[in-house]
Amino acid sequence: MNYHLLPFTFTRISNHEVLVNELGDMIISPFGTVYKLVNREPVDEELFKSLAANFFVSDTAIPVLSDIYALRLREKKRFLDQFTALHIFVLTLRCNQNCVYCQASSCNEDCTSVTMTMHTMKKAVELMFKSPSPYLTMEFQGGEPSLEPKLLRYGIELAEEINKAEQKNINYVLCTNCVDLTDEVMDICKQYKVMISSSLDGPAYLHNTNRGKKDSYEKVVAGFERARSILGHDQVSALMTTSELALDYPIEIVDEYRRLGFRSIFLRALNPYGLATTNPDWTDYTDRFIEFYKTALNYIIDLNIQGTFFIEEYAAIILKKMITPYTTGFVDLQSPAGIINSVLVYNYDGYVYASDESRMLAEFNDYTFRLGHVDEPYENIVYGKAAKNAAKYWSNEALAGCTDCGVRTYCGADPVRNHSTQNDLYGYRPASLLCRKNKAIIEYIISLIIERYDEVMPIFKSWLL
């Protein structure tokens, strides 16, 4: 047979060869297909038509539809055109909870000198508007940012003022534990349509144990109710973090989210920052998390089969990359990486970091991803030495291990995680627990598509509407 191959790689899942091209198109084929293609041996006619239609093979050296290919490739990297959309403002490290596994290196509510000044806020907001992105998300984090209502209001009002001329589309998000949402904070949220993003780890015993508190769960749930009643049901979302204890309760956690009226959950692993580094055995944790994830995902799929619409957000992000022509705004699964390209962090002390994780490293005196200071010009920050250094390692298209990986287009690059866990921005994939987790989850989702296509595909598609 006479045809040309187009770029693709492959992997083996559920007794099939899974071929994935640069556009993220996936072809599931019998064992031996790649060998036949490489050696130009005949393959099944329908399969060949599918390979040709999806840019795996071409009759001509340059495909007739190369313009379409280029457009689709560009669309997959659309986030690069717009540059940084997510701007995280760490208002303070003060916190009224100080949970056991805290990933944000918070300190006591009475701490001084750990809160952003008005000057830093002004400079940070001005820097945010230097981003060419027409969409901006201004996310307030801590510590507990609701402890600083005046700073919160000042930041938002300044952004609103500047935006009269800039005319960008701005979203505001307050990441709060919801424990003490005062009238003052609620007024700001209502006035400026600030979304509430909170944390809930699952049922009361789990949430309270994770946080080393007796009544955190009750306070958080009361906070949800209050925020929903003032701002509207959909203005409140919650994130869970899978502590070691949580690994034993996948079903209970999903049920708790449903019980509280959420229509989705993001099953999120602990990351090795902040106090969470004290976790003893990360390999064991990662393997257990993968099993936890599979159990919870299967349970969620069963719920959907029985008629309850409920989304697992991490799977939905991967599926969007897999079965639509579009990119996602999710910074952890991007190549080039989400750092700087999609997110910047303005820390309480005026320093600017490449990501949330980058600033957490700085709390442990590691300043590798400190890009500069809010008083510096924008260009010095986003095109400076630290940014350029990170850029050498941020494309998984060019990293050993990733280049040939069959699921590369659904995964991402993360030099910050490589650095923090392996002391090497480049990273060593065979020992990378992030790689292990991502690969296992992506391959599991593909295995579901292979083995239970008719059952799961309508559900997966419904999650992307």
Partner 1 sequence: MTIQIDRNIFDDAAISKTIYWLSGDFSFQRRLEGEIESITITPKPGSEMSDLDIELAFLDKLNDNKLRGIIANETKDIRTILYAKAFADDDYLSEEDLNE
Tell me: does residue 259 bind partner 1 (CB under 8 A): no
* Amino acid identity at 403: T
Of 36 and 268, the one with the shorter C-beta distance to ligand SF4 is 268
Interaction pattern, residues 37-66, with partner 1; x per rule: CB under 8 A: -x----------------------xxx--x
Q: Which of 1, 53, 64, 70 binds partner 1 (CB under 8 A)?
A: 70
Contact (CB, 8 A) for 396 and 411:
yes
CA atoms within 13 A of residue 78's CA, in its CB half-sphere: 14
Tell me: does residue 22 bind partner 1 (CB under 8 A): yes
Interaction pattern, residues 416-455, with partner 1; x per rule: CB under 8 A: -------------xxx------------------------
Tell me: does residue 67 bind partner 1 (CB under 8 A): yes
Task: Give the interface segment with partner 1, choosing from 32-40, 199-207, 231-239, 307-315 (CB under 8 A).
Answer: 32-40
User: DSSP string covering 35-78, please?
Assistant: HHHHTT----HHHHHHHHHTTSEESSSS-TTHHHHHHHHHHHTH
Contact (CB, 8 A) for 389 and 395:
no
Q: Which of 1, 5, 251, 398 binds partner 1 (CB under 8 A)?
A: 5
- Give, as one character, the DSSP assignment of residue 194: P
- In the complex, the smallest distance separating the C-beta of residue 113 from ligand SF4, rounded to whole angstroms, is 39
Tokens of 276: 């969470």
Instruction: Give me the residues paired with residue 88 across strands.
Output: 139, 345
The values of phi and psi at residue 237, to 5°, are -125, 165
Q: Which of 9, 14, 264, 277 binds partner 1 (CB under 8 A)?
A: 9
The closest of 352, 361, 386, 364 to 90, measured between CA atoms, is 352
Q: How far is CA 252 from the centre of its chain?
A: 23
Of 87 and 408, the one with the shorter C-beta distance to ligand SF4 is 408
Tell me which residues touch ligand SF4 (CB under 6 A).
396, 401-402, 405, 407-408, 411, 429, 435, 438-439
Tell me: does residue 401 bind partner 1 (CB under 8 A): yes
Contact (CB, 8 A) for 13 and 450:
yes
Residue 77 contact partner, candidates partner 1, ligand SF4, none, CB within 5 to 8 A by sort of partner: partner 1
Residue 438 contact partner, candidates ligand SF4, partner 1, none, CB within 5 to 8 A by sort of partner: ligand SF4
